[in-house]
Amino acid sequence: MSVPEDNTKQTKLLLIGETGNGKSSLGNFILQKYVFKVGDSPNPETREVVGENGKGERNDLIVIDTPSLQESKEFNEKFLNDIVDSQPDERCDNRISENEIERLIEWGRGITPINIDTNKQEKTPVIEEKEEIESMGNNDKQIITQVKRKRREIRIEFNGEIK
């Protein structure tokens, strides 16, 4: 990964996810150029951590593409150090890198895992009930009425779709 010469604040985007979820495609889209190999097979294309700089108006971006953490056999300290290199770079001012890493770890520990099956589930159904009283007629001694009760359930999926 090359480091830009100017002293602008760099934004680093780390792409993490399962194989085939589009990390490399997203990286190419963000950088507006084809730098990460993309495939349409179930086999992973990204085998090692790769970082690329943006060009032009996106020259302040560094996108870091990673292999799937869930399937990687090299999930060890060296692999993690490739993703988050906390060693100072001689060409850059890295005084805050350790602090950034600690904040990132603290933030990551507070993330609630996402249930992938949630989009197939529904929220608690909303039940609406309505009573309608209809006069059927009357005679001298009584009024005849009919009470109609209507009840409906509205089921809303987590994606907002109403069933």
Highest mean pLDDT among 10-14, 74-78, 100-104: 10-14
Task: Give the separation between CA 129 and CA 148, rounded to whole angstroms.
Answer: 11
Domain boundaries along the sequence of the chain = 11-113, 120-154
Of 155, 156, 158, nearest to 119 by C-alpha is 158
Structure tokens at 86: 């906390």
Over 80: is that where the pLDDT of 4 sits? no
- Tell me: the pLDDT tens digits for 122-163? 567 788 899 988 888 888 888 888 888 888 888 777 666 666
In this structure, are strands 11-15 and 61-65 parallel, antiparallel, or unpaired? parallel
Does 128 or 71 have the greater pLDDT score? 128
User: Would you give the distance in Å from CA 92 to the centre of its chain?
Assistant: 31
Per-residue confidence (pLDDT) for residue 158, from 0 to 100 = 61
Does 109 or 38 have the greater pLDDT score? 38
Task: Give the separation between CA 1 and CA 62, rounded to whole angstroms.
Answer: 9
Per-residue DSSP letters for 38-85?
--SSSS-S--S-EEEE--GGGTTEEEEE---TTT-TT-SHHHHHHHS-
8 Å CB contact between 56 and 5: no
- Tell me: the pLDDT tens digits for 93-107? 555 566 666 676 677
Residues 6 or more apart whose Cβ sits within 8 Å of residue 24: 15, 36, 37, 38, 45, 46, 65
Does 73 or 80 have the greater pLDDT score? 80
Reported pTM? 0.43
- Rounded to the nearest integer, the mean pLDDT of the chain is 72
Per-residue confidence (pLDDT) for residue 98, from 0 to 100 = 64
